[in-house]
């Protein structure tokens, strides 16, 4: 037995030293077409992020469109992280059938999970408990809100996800007042900003407003719109409430936060200056869903 263990250790060291160690595999789950042109472009957004990660040594990725892999039994084999960019609520792709159980099995193995924009919203009755465990936070109706506003991120915490990211300001549908784990246990805010008065100009409703949010805005308190989470078993999670507008992926800082986060949840090393990437206008226009005039 000692000889076997020693032999396996030697092989693992040899593979690593020769560059033959397995790449970190990222599985993107892109939701179905949704909203108007240039909004909720799940497939185009995932493919754009994949194209950026294709230039990162030691990382491979695959994008599954329309909400869930057809070959789900094998699609997640070898995955280091799963990234979900899709509509949420009752139509969330992870809430259908027994998919929460499928993802839960991956989470039990310490695999990372990132949720982008509406994918941060399960339902309180199904999925919220799991999301708090897996990524540390979730959108909760009648508590969280989804206004369009200018997120001004003037101070970033020291974290692998913020490496190489400069302060930036950008308009998006930044959800806030998310439901987080009790006492933010294991949760690190990544992007925080102070919402302006325009965020409470709607009446109260499941997504539009509530007394708690009005108090936060009136007091000028900062809110967290992106965060990192660690699980007791070593698994990692990331929530990012922006990316309603596809055009925002053209912003270098916006894009770098998410690319860094994907590497981090996959337990891949984040470059000291963050993931380098550039995107062209042609890339931004590629793979958009057919929704009529743009």
Which pLDDT tens digit goes with each residue over 119-164? 999 999 999 999 999 999 999 999 999 999 999 999 999 999 999 9
Assigned domain for 237 exists: yes
pLDDT-derived band at 15, boundaries 50, 70, 90: very low
Assigned domain for 290 exists: no
Residue 72: pLDDT over 60: yes
Q: What angle do CA 117, 196, 212 make, to 5 degrees?
A: 75
Assigned domain for 3 exists: no
CA 45 to chain centre: 12
CATH label of the domain that carries residue 113 = 3.40.50.880
90-98, Cβ contacts within 8 angstroms, sequence gap of 24 or more:
90/123, 92/119, 92/121, 92/122, 92/123, 92/127, 93/29, 93/31, 93/67, 93/68, 94/29, 94/119, 94/122, 94/127, 95/122, 95/123, 95/126, 95/127, 96/68
The whole-number average pLDDT for the span 25-32 is: 97
Do residues 111 and 81 make contact, with C-beta atoms less than 8 angstroms apart?
yes
The whole-number average pLDDT for the span 1-13 is: 45
Total number of domains constituting the chain: 1
pLDDT of residue 21: 56
pLDDT-derived band at 293, boundaries 50, 70, 90: low
Assigned domain for 15 exists: no
Assigned domain for 5 exists: no
Assigned domain for 2 exists: no
Assigned domain for 14 exists: no
Percentage of residues in the chain with pLDDT exceeding 70?
A: 92
Do residues 101 and 280 make contact, with C-beta atoms less than 8 angstroms apart?
no
pLDDT of residue 291: 81
Residue range(s) defining the domain that contains residue 49: 21-285
- Mean pLDDT score of the chain: 93
Tell me the pTM: 0.92
Assigned domain for 85 exists: yes
């Amino acid at each position: 037995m000692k000889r076997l263990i020693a032999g396996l250790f030697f092989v693992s060291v040899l593979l690593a030293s020769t560059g033959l160690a397995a790449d970190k595999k990222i599985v993107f789950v892109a939701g179905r077409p949704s909203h108007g042109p240039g909004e909720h472009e799940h497939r185009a957004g995932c493919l754009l992020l994949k194209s950026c990660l294709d230039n990162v040594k030691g990382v491979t990725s695959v994008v599954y469109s329309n909400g869930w892999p057809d070959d789900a039994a094998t699609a997640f084999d070898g995955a280091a992280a799963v990234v979900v960019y899709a509509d949420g609520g009752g139509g969330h792709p992870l809430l259908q059938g027994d998919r929460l159980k499928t993802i839960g099995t991956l989470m039990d193995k310490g695999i990372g999970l990132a949720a982008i924009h509406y994918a941060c919203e399960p339902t309180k009755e199904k999925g919220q408990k799991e999301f708090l465990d897996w990524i540390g936070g979730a959108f909760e109706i009648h508590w969280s809100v989804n206004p369009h506003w200018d997120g001004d991120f003037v101070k970033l915490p020291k974290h692998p996800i913020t490496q190489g990211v400069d302060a930036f300001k950008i308009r998006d549908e930044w959800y806030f007042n998310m439901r987080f784990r009790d006492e933010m246990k294991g949760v690190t805010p990544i992007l925080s900003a102070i919402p302006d008065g325009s965020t409470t100009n709607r009446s109260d409703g499941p997504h539009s407003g509530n007394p708690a949010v009005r108090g936060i805005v009136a007091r000028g308190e900062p809110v967290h719109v992106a965060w990192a989470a660690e699980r007791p078993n070593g698994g990692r999670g990331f929530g990012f409430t922006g990316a309603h507008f596809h055009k925002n992926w053209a912003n270098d800082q916006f894009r770098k936060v998410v690319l860094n986060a994907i590497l981090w949840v996959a337990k891949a090393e984040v470059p000291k200056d963050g993931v380098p990437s550039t995107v062209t206008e042609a890339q931004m226009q590629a793979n958009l869903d057919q929704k009529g005039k743009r």
